[in-house]
Structure 1
Amino acid sequence: MLLNFRKVEKGGEDAFFISSYNGGVVAVADGVSGWAEQNVNPALFSRELMSKASSLVEDEEVSYNPRTLIQKAHAATSSVGSATVIIAMLEKNGTLKIASVGDCGLRVIRKGQVVFSTSPQEHYFDCPYQLSSEAVGQTYLDATVSSVELVKGDTLVIGSDGLFDNVFDHEIVSAVGTTSDDVTNTAKVLANLAHTHSLDLSYESPYSLEARARGFDVPWWKKILGMKLTGGKLDDITVIVGHAESS
């Protein structure tokens, strides 16, 4: 689900794909909005990247390796732009293999707890690693590669930073717990919650807490008045939720 009032007419800058190949493949890419300042549609790169990745999932040279899939999809993408990306591939034996560049994220929820989470990669605050059409960007070699053994009943939540900048892990766990029988509904609940938080100027969001921790805050005269940097981050929001089932 994608939500951002400013980008609705253009369809947003996130892209994703879901494949049932092997144990299942899920991927999310987030186009970097800064390209709009150069009159480039930031959505084109992320959409083509996901399209190429989707078409290469069964490629023998990919060998069901998420980092290799990032490599080949990036090489095949000709659009100008850049994007963060995460790809998760589930083996039929229950091993979830993950490769990510930037700040799209993934959580595994088991019995009311986050048992696995990815960590964002960034050059500095609010500037994530990204694949790019330019030579100065990151490549598949910069991807963080990890794996986790899933068990029946685990819930997988994968999304762009629009989710994780606005929703805390405990809120994700709560949403999964109250909507666990319907992954579509869980995704909608989380996307709507992220959107609501993104518009709340007084909300102590993960994004605002991180900003203050990095030294970003309101001017000194506002601090004297007891004010501080708060609010969510208005952004594209992509949320995909799935359940681990026995093969």
Structure 2
Amino acid sequence: MEVLNDAYFNTKCQGSSTTCILTLMCDIVHTVNLGDSGFVAIRDRVIVYKSKIPQKGFDYPFQLGNGVKFDDSSAIQEINVTVRTWDVIVMFTDGLFDNVYYTELEKLVRDGLVDLCELGIFWRNCSCGRFIFEEQ
């Protein structure tokens, strides 16, 4: 939240943006989210968490900006979600779910993980919150 507040209060240029910033600390995903950006958590090939996408109206998301018609940092959502080893987090910006259904995303992630396994690439949990790729 501090990063977004600093960016908001120190930006002089006109413009606006939606945002999703995510940090992983052991088994907690902490996010700050504004507008039609967000994330999903996938466990055992199924979406177990979808961040909410608040909007003022249809196709009218909250946006952080310094103009009169934009929102300030008070509109930002802070979310904590518990995750497990092997969960997959997919972050997105506006437009993904205008074009891809949640079930399609589950299939894309599942197929992508199968492809990695077929290539002999696996994740090894090195320490809390850190993963590396290694060839087997």
TM bin (shorter chain): 0.7 to 0.9
Q: CA deviation at 1:137?
A: 2.0
Distance across 2 between alignment mates of 1:84 and 1:154: 25
1:90 aligns with 2:8: no
Q: CA RMSD in A?
A: 2.1
1:77 aligns with 2:14: no
Distance across 1 between alignment mates of 2:41 and 2:105: 10
Distance across 2 between alignment mates of 1:96 and 1:75: 25
Distance across 1 between alignment mates of 2:78 and 2:91: 15
Q: Specify whether residues 141 and 182 from structure 1 end up closer, same or farther in structure 2 by C-alpha distance, changes over 3 A only.
A: farther
When you count helix as a share of all residues, which structure comes out higher? Answer: 1
Q: CA deviation at 1:70?
A: 1.3
Q: Is the 8 A contact 2:66 2:72 kept in 1?
A: no
Corresponding residue of 1:170: 103
Tell me the TM-score normalised to structure 2 length. Answer: 0.80
Runs of 4+ in 1 over 6 A off after TM superposition: none
Task: Spell out, residue by residue over 1:156-194, the C-alpha distance to the aligned partner (whole angstroms, 9 max, x if none).
Answer: 1011122121101110100111111668xxxxxxxxxxx
Structure 1: 5+ residue runs without aligned partners? Answer: 1-66, 184-242
Amino acid aligned to 1:140:
S
When you count strand as a share of all residues, which structure comes out higher? Answer: 2
Higher relative contact order (CA closer than 8 Å, sequence separation 6+): 2
Q: CA deviation at 1:73?
A: 1.7
Q: CA deviation at 1:244?
A: 9.7
Structure 2: 5+ residue runs without aligned partners? Answer: 117-122, 129-136
Corresponding residue of 2:71: 138
Q: Any residues of structure 2 matched to 1:195-234 within 5 Å, and which?
A: none
Distance across 1 between alignment mates of 2:106 and 2:10: 37
1:119 aligns with 2:52: yes
Q: Specify whether residues 75 and 170 from structure 1 end up closer, same or farther in structure 2 by C-alpha distance, changes over 3 A only.
A: same
Distance across 1 between alignment mates of 2:93 and 2:60: 14
Tell me the TM-score normalised to structure 1 length. Answer: 0.46
